[in-house]
Structure 1
Amino acid sequence: MSSGYKLPSQVQLLHQTSQLKGLMTIVRSKETQRGDFIFYADRIIRLLVEEGLNHLPVINKAIETPTGSKYSGLSFEGRICGVSIMRAGEAMEQGLRECCRSVRIGKILIQRDEETHQPKLYYAKLPKDIASRYVLLLDPMLATGGSAIQAVKVLLDNNVKEERIIFLNLIASPEGIASFIEQFPKIKIVVGEVDAGLDAAKYIVPGCGDFGCRYFGTD
């Protein structure tokens, strides 16, 4: 990320610890084998999910402990679900399940139309009651923002409120962030790192290559 780049207020960057930098160094390296890529990517995903949950609304809740003492705590307000943008977003589903027991997860498949070169919806399967839930949208890479924007439009068409969506991704480009928040200023983005930008082929640089291919072991 350029030292002169100022993050928009809608973007929450993970705390840039030495641990996170070390994990990112492993997943970005072209020398990293698939088993290690999966293991360390999963660790970053877990950090993203934990931070995403911090942005959900809470209410006060008083309970009694086994000692008979009172404890003034908190409880999440409302229910959540995850929605992965296939296929790379599916790599983030397990991290969400590890943090939120029995969480419902929907899927959206968007691919570029070969004629128009625009993102096109091919498939969507969402929880029937998604309009009443907070949604964690999952996609590890935010490059141009085209697929993410199309996915959010699907959610809005299913009556999900914009302010109830939290978008989680590992690596984003400034261009993708700008395009996304221009369309959806009420959505919070939680991101691991913001890179320098996009190359001529619209790949994030320095990036980590094709995340889905590296995670699932396909070309």
Structure 2
Amino acid sequence: AWRPRSARGEGAPAHGGDAVPQPAARRGRRPAAPGRADGAGGRLLPADPLRRALRGQQQRQPQPGQQQRQQRGGGGPQPRGGGLRVAARSAAEAAAHERSDPGAADHHQGQIRLVVEEGLNQLPYTECTVTTPTGYKYEGVKFEKGNCGVSIMRSGEAMEQGLRDCCRSIRIGKILIQSDEETQRAKVYYAKFPPDIYRRKVLLMYPILSTGNTVIEAVKVLIEHGVQPSVIILLSLFSTPHGAKSIIQEFPEITILTTEVHPVAPTHFGQKYFGTD
């Protein structure tokens, strides 16, 4: 049977004899004790039962994750409606996570960058001499002053980053146009342009060109602000033959840049890019 150290003396052998100090005690180290006092009655517990007691106490205490789940409604009676609100929020967050597709957004940004760069190539430029930090002079080109971008909200805002990556200081205007549910006619709800837009070349950004009614209405608003159709370049990722034809018939001087022309238009581009219904 196991006996506490106090019964046979500190550092004494189990069979009796003179107490011999342990080497660890001589060097100032605390000797390893097989048990600890519980503090209530001075009783000593052996090491193994002490570990089992501590292990059982830890198992009885709820873990942080379990405590959080219990507070959310999994560990006891909860008010009616509290758990329901949390469940609805979790379902909404999961649905939003499934709708968001970073890979698709990166792919679209690559296509947007190609269209934006080609649109910038259509703008007028002049030759200039660039002096490098090492003093070397290089003959290059620069854009003439008076360029700006206009995005048709909301899908047109997806192309703003591609334009900013190429021209950081370019001015960008916005215009909000929505189609009436009954008449299917485009209606302008908001328009904000640079004050001197009538002096600038305009890069009109609208990714999906379906019927062309939205773009036609946007060009009319730009004309009301003094912009000529000949200085407007429409940047689009996808266009239908009917949409492109209707715009050209209305404004023959406008320039349209797109990556594909197909009869079926992917109207879900804005929802897919921004991750919404």
With structure 1 as the length reference, what TM-score do the two structures score? 0.76
Identity of aligned residues (%): 54
Is 1:215 aligned to residue 273 of structure 2? Answer: yes
Shift of 1:184: 1.2
Q: What SS does the aligned partner of 2:165 have?
A: helix
Q: Which runs of 5+ in 1 are unaligned?
A: 1-30, 198-204
The separation in 1 between residues aligned to 2:251 and 2:128, in whole angstroms, is 32
Q: Compute the RMSD of aligned alpha carbons.
A: 1.9
Match of 2:192 among 117, 125, 128: 125
Shift of 1:103: 1.7
Shift of 1:151: 0.4
Q: What SS does the aligned partner of 2:259 have?
A: strand
Q: 1:178 maps to what in 2? A: 245
Is the 8 Å Cα contact of residues 129 and 137 (structure 2) preserved in structure 1?
yes
The separation in 2 between residues aligned to 1:209 and 1:61, in whole angstroms, is 43
With structure 2 as the length reference, what TM-score do the two structures score? 0.61
Is the 8 Å Cα contact of residues 78 and 134 (structure 1) preserved in structure 2?
no
Shift of 1:33: 5.9
Is the 8 Å Cα contact of residues 136 and 167 (structure 1) preserved in structure 2?
yes
Distance change >3 Å, CA 32–CA 117, structure 1 → 2: closer
Is the 8 Å Cα contact of residues 172 and 193 (structure 1) preserved in structure 2?
yes
Q: What SS does the aligned partner of 2:260 have?
A: strand
Q: Which runs of 5+ in 2 are unaligned?
A: 1-97
The separation in 2 between residues aligned to 1:214 and 1:115, in whole angstroms, is 25
Q: Which moved more, 1:157-166 or 1:143-152?
A: 157-166
Structure of higher RCO (CA pairs closer than 8 Å, 6+ residues apart): 1
Is 1:71 aligned to residue 138 of structure 2? Answer: yes
Shift of 1:82: 1.0
More strand by share: 1
Q: 1:139 maps to what in 2? A: 206
Number of residue pairs matched?
A: 180
Mapping of residues 133-212 of structure 1, within 5 Å: 133-195=200-262, 197=263, 205=264, 207-212=265-270
Distance change >3 Å, CA 209–CA 121, structure 1 → 2: closer
Amino acid at match of 1:212: G
Q: 1:7 maps to what in 2? A: none
More helix by share: 2
Shift of 1:32: 9.4
Shift of 1:46: 0.8
Q: What SS does the aligned partner of 2:183 have?
A: coil
Q: What SS does the aligned partner of 2:217 have?
A: helix
The separation in 2 between residues aligned to 1:103 and 1:70, in whole angstroms, is 26
